[in-house]
Amino acid sequence: MNAKERLEKVIDNIEKVIIGKRDIAELSIVAMLSHGHVLLEDVPGVGKTMLVRALAKSVGADFKRIQFTPDLLPSDVIGVSIYNPKDMEFHFRPGPIMGNIILADEINRTSPKTQSSLLEAMEEASVTIDGVTMQIPKPFFVMATQNPIEYEGTYPLPEAQLDRFLLKIKMGYPSSREEMEVLNRAQVAAPIEELTSVISLEELLELQAQVRTIKVDETIRSYIVDLSRQTRQDAYVYLGVSPRGSIALMKASQAYALLKGRDYVTPDDVQYLAKFVFGHRIMLRSEARYDGITVEEITERILAKTHVPVQRFVGK
């Protein structure tokens, strides 16, 4: 079974729980294959938590949930060293971050100090306690959720934290037909309880390694750089996409190509993923708000005016 077939089995399995959101499942897998993380922004009740749980069950991963609240401390996330008087030594008690797939629920409800405790984990897959660095088990994938409506009692994520997320996704409401199907499936039993793994963690690690072998032509890399530089030069933007964002777009494009059964990246891959990679990395000036300009409009404008390279090879 090739990579595309294995990944389609995972997506089909997720769709047993999440109806009509195949594109969201694909993007989540793209982020996981790229060793990246996802910021999922939407209203409550559209299936954000179920999506993460279904993904974890589909790959047989250790799932942990962190409910972020204003009084949550960094030690509640990464763990703490506790002194044992019997042997007169400190013993590390790991926090919920020490898992494979982590749901960081309502991440913007906690303080900046606790948010910053995630930076090392998300960037380097490790945590440091009392000067000792410990690696987090692989694979490691964080999907954080935040509600775009409830602003009271929330702390906006700082730019450094946002930059750690590979993709920002919005799920949206299901259609009437899809919502009817949700009711039909939930009437008898909760579909998530019947879900089983369709690939192993070892297979997932192999797929992550395959992503690095996907070819990215020089013209594609140049195209990615051009797009990123355009965001830094736009009159409405005060903070454009960083080089980390350029790397994120390239890695996501490689993973998307693998998902689609190709061993090379196309300009279409880059164009499709750009809005999910760039959206949360572009910070607008106040003039943009006065003129009603959104990040989505700026991204679309940059994609429209940037020269698209002609593909010079097909799977060579």
> What does the block give as tokens for 121?
């984990």
Mean pLDDT split into 10-residue runs, the chain, 316 residues: 92 91 94 95 80 92 91 89 83 88 89 84 87 88 80 71 91 86 80 88 95 96 96 91 94 97 95 95 89 92 91 53
Domain end among 205, 226, 247: 205
CATH number reported for the structural domain that contains residue 34 in this entry: 3.40.50.300
The answer as to whether 91 is a domain residue is no
Check whether residue 54 and residue 147 sit in a common domain: yes
Do 198 and 180 share a structural domain?
yes
> Residue 149 has what pLDDT?
53
In a domain, 314, yes or no: no
**What is d(CA 316, CA 312) in angstroms, rounded to the nearest whole number?**
10
Is 163 inside any structural domain?
A: yes
Say what the pLDDT of residue 151 is.
56
Q: Which of 149, 179, 205 is the last residue of a domain?
A: 205
Provide the domain limits for residue 44. 3-72+101-107+138-205
Q: Is residue 58 part of a domain?
A: yes
169 with 278, same domain? no
Q: Return the pLDDT at 150.
A: 54
Is the domain of 219 the same as that of 201? no
Q: Are residues 198 and 223 in the same domain?
A: no
Cα–Cα nearest to 227, from 147, 301, 140, 138: 301
pLDDT of residue 130: 77
**Same domain, yes or no: 143 and 65:** yes
Measured CA to CA, the distance from residue 272 to residue 277 in angstroms comes to 10
Domain-embedded: residue 123: no
Kindly state whether residues 275 and 193 are assigned to the same domain.
no
- What pLDDT does 297 receive? 93
Helix (H) or strand (E) holding 263: none
Q: Are residues 164 and 63 in the same domain?
A: yes
**CATH number, domain containing residue 251:** 1.10.8.80
**Pair (149, 230) in one structural domain:** no
9/1 Cα distance (integer angstroms):
11
CA distance 5 to 269: 19
**Residue carrying the six token digits 């089909």:** 12
Would you state the pLDDT for residue 153? Answer: 59
DSSP secondary structure string, 201-212?
A: HHHHHHHHHHHT
pLDDT at residue number 224: 97
Does 115 map to a domain?
no
Q: Quick one: 200 and 155 in the same domain? A: yes
- Flag whether 162 is in a domain: yes
8 Å CB contact between 134 and 127: yes
Number of domains in the chain: 2
Q: Which of 205, 228, 262 is the last residue of a domain?
A: 205
Same-domain pairing of 256 and 166: no
Are 158 and 255 contained in the same domain? no
Partnered with residue 91 across adjacent β-strands are: 82
Is there a domain that residue 300 lies in?
A: yes
What pLDDT shows up at residue 102? 94
